[in-house]
Structure 1
């Protein structure tokens, strides 16, 4: 049986990076080990070289594949203590105006530095993040309570019901009233099914 050297193999092992996908790596290693097993009968040095090449390939390419799969570290964002403080402040003040300048002061940053760091940490601007938190609270209230939409809008920090409806429609492509009817019906159905299962 002849053993053709792999293109990137030198006498001392792999001397350059092979651009392998994760799917090609097992086949390449299996081929090296099969060659080593076959060579072990006739040429012990060739077999040892193939095993060494397989080990080097696993070590280097396996590490590279893991490094490629790992998300890059987030730099320039808020520190964990700052994120906790911002989240707590927003949650506690969703029913009132929340100013970006107040959030920046809370974590001892300038408004411009805070805005950049916030966008890195949260993936968007502070104002939109606050609106999203308000909409989440409103949806929870619409399903869990029977309060009128105007009261829910006020409790979630919207200027009025029209402002709430406008923002809700933009985010979910339906009106709050239609969304509420649909989701309250779903909740009533699931409660009825749970009650029936217990009976």
Structure 2
């Protein structure tokens, strides 16, 4: 494999400018430089050392650039970390009580509209649906860990009544809480995650 055109570019530029490489081309280019170095080592040690140095520089610079290009762009416009912590703590402490979006917005010192936009960026969806999801997660945990009746679990997780809880549960998991609980209690699923995959 000959890399003479690359070599001349490298020599002229001192390997100090970014070469537009696709990720797939990098291994072949490095392998070619090292093969040239091995071949040159028998005849000209300085050429061999130069090829090895070029390969090392290429790996360091282009590898870093390719990794940087692969990183996702930072999320902007979301809640600050301290705001996320406050929202999470408030929801955990008030899972059984009514939670208004306006209360959450006030908690983190934002207008309701700004909070709603920032919340969606940070959590990947709206605040109301997130609150329902948190309540359903807590209800499933209680269904596994306790023998409480479904009506009491519904109340403990902030649902208006058992019918409201059942409706939301069925919408989220495509089965009723009673069926889900019986299935779990029979030992047919080993965890909440396994139960989810059964209804996916």
Taking structure 2 as the reference length, the TM-score comes to 0.82
**Offset, 1:80:** 1.4
**Offset, 1:8:** 9.0
**Aligned partner of 1:18 among 17, 20, 25:** 20
Task: State the aligned residue count.
Answer: 189
Q: Which residue of 2 aligns with 1:83?
A: 84
Distance (whole Å) between structure 1 residues aligned to residue 8 and residue 169 of structure 2: 58
Distance (whole Å) between structure 2 residues aligned to residue 143 and residue 2 of structure 1: 65
Q: Which residue of 1 aligns with 2:105?
A: 104
Asked if 2 retains the 8 angstrom alpha-carbon contact of 1:40 and 1:47, the reply is yes
Where do residues 1-199 of structure 1 align in structure 2 (5 Å cutoff)? Answer: 4-6=4-6, 9-10=9-10, 11-14=12-15, 15-21=17-23, 24-44=25-45, 46-186=47-187
Change (3 A) 1:29 1:38: same
Measured on the aligned residues, the alpha-carbon RMSD in Å equals: 2.6
Deviates most, 86-95 or 56-65: 56-65
Change (3 A) 1:47 1:141: same
Taking structure 1 as the reference length, the TM-score comes to 0.83
Structure 1: gaps spanning 5 or more residues:
191-199
**Offset, 1:96:** 1.2
Structure 2: gaps spanning 5 or more residues:
192-200
Change (3 A) 1:3 1:30: closer
